[in-house]
Amino acid sequence: MKKMIVIMGVLWVSGAAFAKKNCTDEPKSKWMSEADFKKKVEAEGYKIRKFKQPGSCYEIYGTDKNGKSVEIYFNPVDGTIAKSR
């Protein structure tokens, strides 16, 4: 029984890691346009390989100014980083 509880706890925690990110509660009418967002991010030195808009975030896969691979979730209202890997 103890083993089952541990397994359920691990599954619950790992499931939470894959939940949709919540980057803002603002309506889409207040979001930066995708084009303006991409220009801002590229001006900061990121190269966008793939762009997504999951839930309430803008997400990029690409490289930073040092060529390191990144996956970053941004607040679409102001372009600040909400989470990165």
Residue 71: phi and psi, rounded to 5, are: -135, 115
Q: Please check whether residue 37 is in contact with residue 44, taking contact to mean a CB–CB distance below 8 angstroms.
A: no
Q: Please tell me the predicted confidence (pLDDT) of residue 1.
A: 58
What tens digit of pLDDT does each residue of 23-56 get?
A: 999 999 999 999 999 999 999 999 999 999 999 9
Enclosing domain of residue 40: 21-84
Question: For the domain that residue 59 is a member of, what is the CATH number?
Answer: 3.10.450
Residue 38 carries which side chain, given as an amino acid letter? K
CA dist., res. 45 & res. 1, Å (int): 52
Could you tell me if residue 56 is inside a domain? yes
Could you tell me if residue 61 is inside a domain? yes
Label residue 6 by pLDDT band (50, 70, 90). very low
Q: What is the pTM of this model?
A: 0.74
Could you tell me if residue 28 is inside a domain? yes
Domain total for the chain?
Answer: 1
